[in-house]
Structure 1
Amino acid sequence: MDSPIVSTTLQACVLSAASNLIAQGITAYQNKVPFSVDWTPVVQFVLFTILNSPPNFLWQSFLESSFPATYVTPSSKAIAAAANNDEKKLDAEEVNHEIVETKLSVRNTTIKFLLDQTVGATVNTLLFSLVFAGFQGATTAQAVQIAKQDFWGMMYAGWKLWPAVSAINYTLITTIEGRSLVGSLAGVGWSVYLSLIAGGK
């Protein structure tokens, strides 16, 4: 059986490579030069994705297990039947699996959203800056300095996209794999932005 982490990472790698190629195409168009693929940044983005995707998958799994998206509660029909001491109706609802219903936990969803947009975003932003500074030959001290300089600009840019993605994921998507797919698709545009930023340094 395929591991969800492996399949999610492979999917993210394909989208990451495509994003970098799109960014190179945009740069060539803006500079009015013929498009020619530079495979070095493509490989770098794929390597970063291999490094970054598994921890993110585990992070989302941790958030969901710690703060489940839904909870089970007696259905309105069951409550009404119980209030009227209607045993027949209660039995019928149990047979039809209507005695309970699943509801979105607003509290847990809010907690996951806030943690993802603060702790998760901080780690991802710092990791990106440090890794790509390393790719470009920076020393550890230089990489840390670059990460400090880039941090707030990248966080602000990320907050224009990722809160909406997180809101959709935590309210509409029920599986970690599904959330990873939505995140990867949204990440195409984000990766184009990151590619342009990385390429401009």
Structure 2
Amino acid sequence: MPYLNFSRDDFHGMPNFSEFVTHVLSGRNNQAEVSSVKLSFHGEDACVIAEQIMKYAYAHNIQKLNVACVFDNDDVKFPLFLSSSRSLKHLSVTKERFPSTVYRWRHPFSYAFKATYILELPALTTLYLHDVTFCCDANPVECIDLFSKCANLKSLTLKGCYINGITGIRIRLPLFSNLTLESVGGNVEVFGIVAPQLKNLTIEL
């Protein structure tokens, strides 16, 4: 099974979800690589299971990861180990909405990327981030190059993202061809882009 698709919504409770995930991963051929993982979950408890799945995928040279998440607590830090994957080519992180009938008064938070570490994904070609937070630990930074160690990145989408404590983001990538910035909020004032291969640019504020 090179393609794994787990959704918390398919189970009546966390124990069932956890048991199923553990059963699948323990029964799978441990020598085989994982090509793709699609993961949808919500809640702090499910976050633990989600990280277990991502650790397994990381250890088995995952190439494509799609994460759709909802949290009902403070922003959750994106797993640090994934930011240094040598095999990941496509990464999508999306914030889903709570079902209005069940979580009427809850505000969904998102994954947070710490600006103190830079994404080091040498194989990454496509990055899609929806409602993800970029933040600093302490003092604000004037400018940072978050993607300098993603040398093969060709397509970047930042949609509804919030950038806290960073006034400028620099993007300098030789193969970069597609950039979409949509409803990016927070402290950022300047995007410095050096991309000789850029073909498609979309900016919607």
What TM-score results when the alignment is normalised by the length of structure 2?
0.21
Q: Which protein is richer in strand relative to its size?
A: 2
Q: Which protein is richer in helix relative to its size?
A: 1
Higher relative contact order (CA 8 A, sep 6+): 1
What TM-score results when the alignment is normalised by the length of structure 1?
0.21
Rg comparison, structure with higher value: 1
